Amino acid sequence: MPGLTEAEYFSSVAQWRARLKAREISAVELAKAFCARLEALGPRYNALALPLTKRALSKAKDVDGDIKIDRWRSALQGIPFAVKDLLSVAGFPTTWGAKPYAAQVFKKDATVVSKLDSAGAVLTGKLSMVELAGGGGYRYPAASLFGPGLNPWDLGRWSGGSSSGSGSAVAAGLVPFAIGSETWGSILTPAAYCGITGLRPTYGYVSRSGAMALSWTMDKIGPMCRSAEDCGLVLQAIAGGDSDDPGSSGKSFYFAPQYARKLTDLRVGYAEVDFNGWAEPAARPAFEKALATVREMGVKLVKTALPEMPYGLAAGAIIAAEGSAIFEPLIESGKVDELADKNQAAGLKAGLNLSAKDYLKAMRIRTLVQQAMRKIFTEVDVLVSPARFGPASKIGDRLDARPPVSPLPKDRGMSDLGAAGNLAGLPALCLPCGFAEELPVAIQLVGRPFSENTLLAVGMAFQERTDWHKRKPKV
Given the residues 59, 84, 126, 220, the one annotated as active site: 84
Is residue 144 annotated as a catalytic residue, yes or no? no
Instruction: Answer yes or no: is pLDDT of 406 > 90.
Output: no
Strands 428-436 and 439-447: antiparallel
**What per-residue confidence (pLDDT) applies to 401?**
76
pLDDT tens column, 361-371: 999 999 999 99
Q: What is residue 106's three-state secondary structure?
A: coil
Residues 473, 153 contacting (CB under 8 angstroms):
yes
Residue 407 pLDDT grade (very low, low, confident, very high; cuts 50, 70, 90): confident
The lowest-confidence range among 148-157, 301-310, 396-405, 414-423 is: 396-405
Q: What does pTM read for this prediction?
A: 0.98
pLDDT tens column, 176-227: 999 999 999 999 999 999 999 999 999 999 999 999 999 999 999 999 999 9
Question: CA nearest 255: which of 425, 457, 463, 13?
Answer: 457
Q: H or E stretch including 50? A: strand 48-51
Give the integer Cα–Cα distance in Å for 432 and 224: 12
Output the average pLDDT for the chain.
97
**What per-residue confidence (pLDDT) applies to 195?**
98
Instruction: Answer yes or no: is pLDDT of 432 > 90.
Output: yes
Give the integer Cα–Cα distance in Å for 108 and 88: 7
**What per-residue confidence (pLDDT) applies to 403?**
67
Is residue 162 annotated as a catalytic residue, yes or no? yes
Query: What CATH number is attached to the domain comprising 18?
Result: 3.90.1300.10
**What per-residue confidence (pLDDT) applies to 402?**
67
* The CA-based dihedral angle spanning residues 162, 343, 401, 468, taken in that order and rounded to the nearest 10 degrees: -10
Give the integer Cα–Cα distance in Å for 290 and 118: 38
Q: How many CB atoms lie within 10 A of CB 39?
A: 15
Q: H or E stretch including 383? A: strand 382-386
Q: Which residues pair with 73 in a beta bridge?
A: none
Q: What percent of the chain has pLDDT over 90?
A: 97
Residues 100, 306 contacting (CB under 8 angstroms):
no
Given the residues 186, 207, 215, 393, the one annotated as active site: 186
Taking the alpha carbons at both ends of the chain, their separation in whole angstroms is 12
pLDDT tens column, 154-168: 999 999 999 999 999
What is the chain's alpha carbon radius of gyration, rounded to the nearest angstrom?
21
Q: What domain count does the chain have?
A: 1
Sign of the Cα pseudo-torsion (312, 317, 318, 323, in order): positive
Burial tier of 475 (Cβ tally within 10 Å: 0-12, 13-18, 19+): middle
Give the integer Cα–Cα distance in Å for 395 and 412: 28
CA distances (Å), origin 433, targets 68, 410, 420: 40, 26, 22
Residues 168, 151 contacting (CB under 8 angstroms):
yes
| Of 265 and 3, the one with more pLDDT | 265
Residues 74, 237 contacting (CB under 8 angstroms):
yes
pLDDT tens column, 49-63: 999 999 999 999 999
> Cα–Cα–Cα angle for 129, 131, 136, nearest 5°?
130
Instruction: Answer yes or no: is pLDDT of 1 > 60.
Output: no
Give the integer Cα–Cα distance in Å for 222 and 218: 13
- Give exposure, 438-463, as e/b (b: 16+ Cβ within 10 Å): ebbbbbbbbbbbbbbbbbbbbbbbbb
Residues 382, 445 contacting (CB under 8 angstroms):
yes
**What residues make up the domain containing 130?**
1-475
> Cα–Cα–Cα angle for 193, 187, 120, nearest 5°?
115
Instruction: Answer yes or no: is pLDDT of 237 > 50.
Output: yes
Q: What is residue 342's three-state secondary structure?
A: helix
Categorise residue 133: left if φ over 0, alpha if ψ from -120 to 50, beta otherwise: left
Instruction: Answer yes or no: is pLDDT of 453 > 70.
Output: yes
Q: H or E stretch including 269? A: strand 267-270
